[in-house]
Structure 1
Amino acid sequence: MGAENTIPALAIRAGGADAAQEAGLTATAPIDAELVVRAAPDIVFVEDFMGAGMVPFQELLSNPALAEVPAVKNKRIVLLPMNEASAVAGTNLPLGYEKIMTEVHR
């Protein structure tokens, strides 16, 4: 997701860096292993879209090419409920922000 989306915007506000932007990605785009390796994030925040959990991300995150990416290597893949950290979070958005801020400063 680009920095204009909720989760990256909250992470940046919490003091995190936008690894995708630092890697030269300027807009929201489909993610693949090459992009994750290039971004080399320390933390990956993923949205639990419609209760699917980590299932939509398992194939990508289990790709051997990601084994040395800091977020994967250190098991810092954080699942965030969409009702707390997305455009539909509404009044629950502070809960998502708190989770993101806690993880960024961990």
Structure 2
Amino acid sequence: MDISTLTVAQLRDLQQQIPAEIKRREAQEKINVLNELRAFAKTRGYAIEDLLGKETKVKASTGNKVKVKYRHPQNVELEWTGRGRKPKWVEAWVANGGSLDNLLV
């Protein structure tokens, strides 16, 4: 394609079309390569998913919120579930001689 004969408007139009075409072709090429890999694995007696270790995994979180286990006695907005790293307010409470048992909800 000789683009030297195109007008500026035609070049701009072509410039806008190129990213979509590249994306479409990359997607098609990925499908083609995956199909080739599946066929190759099949000739060896495997499924590509078996080779890649793709297993159906159970979702770890069902979206349920974890209940609050600890709450600051003066500021009820400061809460902690007891999971993960201790918040700074919990560390400060313990450092000042407080007990986690006093923060239990």
Q: TM-score range by the shorter chain?
A: under 0.3
The structure richer in strand per residue is 1
TM-score where L is the length of structure 2: 0.22
**Rg: which structure is higher?**
2
Larger relative contact order (CA 8 Å, sep ≥ 6): 1
TM-score where L is the length of structure 1: 0.22
